[in-house]
Amino acid sequence: MSAQPALAPYARQTSVSNKSRIAIFNGAKSVICEVGNYQSNIAEIALRAQVSKATIYNQFADKAEMMECLVEYEVERLTQVALAASSREEALYLLSTHISQDLALRKLVESDPLDIAKLVTISTHPTWVLVHQGIAKVFGADSAVCGVILRWLIGQIPSPITEDESRTQSKRLASTLFHN
């Protein structure tokens, strides 16, 4: 996967409002891939999303809220991707490749390192609670195992790995953690 994939809506039917949100998130990721978060602006995001600025402001109070919702959406999207995997090993591989190959994350590492530092600092923030819940839902594991998986994935944000490395490490991690 060399190009940034579009954010896929969940399999369930989405409302017009939800479709607008997904379009906005796609637009935001597209802009972030090019200029990072701080240089992005609502006008360009609206243009890429093919919605009006008013549509964005009807859904979000400001750009900061939109970006926080984008992160939450990405966590939920990745959880769904992993839940659809055929095995725990495959779930690890899919999460790894999605994170390591995410062009928006690559740009943020380059352009907004302080934001990335905040993003990868595990805390009690509601987004981190969502991350922990997603990992527990996918892997059905205790908190120590979830912590190992989480730290492995977080490490790939500032230091992405190749698809081959994702495959090898996912296999090794699944074998170690789940005694496959």
47-92 tens-digit pLDDT: 999 999 999 999 999 999 999 999 999 999 999 999 999 999 999 9
Question: CA nearest 72: which of 129, 151, 153, 147?
Answer: 129
pLDDT tens per residue, range 95-122: 999 999 999 999 999 998 888 888 788 8
Residue 166, pLDDT score: 98
pLDDT of 132 above 50: yes
Q: What is the largest CA-CA distance in the chain?
A: 52
Residue 11, pLDDT score: 34
Burial, 71: exposed, middle or buried (Cβ in 10 Å; 0-12, 13-18, 19+)? middle
* Long-range pairs for 49-58: beta carbons < 8 A, 24 or more residues apart: 49/20, 49/23, 49/24, 50/23, 51/20, 51/23, 51/24, 51/27, 55/20, 55/24, 56/24
> How would residue 1 be classed by pLDDT, with cut points 50, 70 and 90?
very low
Burial, 58: exposed, middle or buried (Cβ in 10 Å; 0-12, 13-18, 19+)? exposed
Percent of the chain with pLDDT strictly greater than 70:
91
SS3 4: coil
Q: What is the mean pLDDT of residues 145-152?
A: 93
pLDDT of 170 above 60: yes
Cα separation, 42 vs 23, in Å, equals: 13
Among 5-14, 108-117, 138-147, which stretch is predicted with the lowest mean pLDDT? 5-14
Q: Which residue type is seen at 44?
A: E
Residue 5, pLDDT score: 40
Task: Report residue 84 as tokens.
Answer: 């659809």
Residue 180, pLDDT score: 59
Q: Which residue type is seen at 117?
A: A
104 Cβ contact list (under 8 Å, min separation 6)? 4, 29, 32, 33
Helix axes 16-35, 63-83, angle to 10 degrees: 100
Cα atoms in the 13 Å half-sphere on the side-chain side of 54: 0
The pTM assigned to this predicted structure is 0.85
pLDDT of 133 above 60: yes
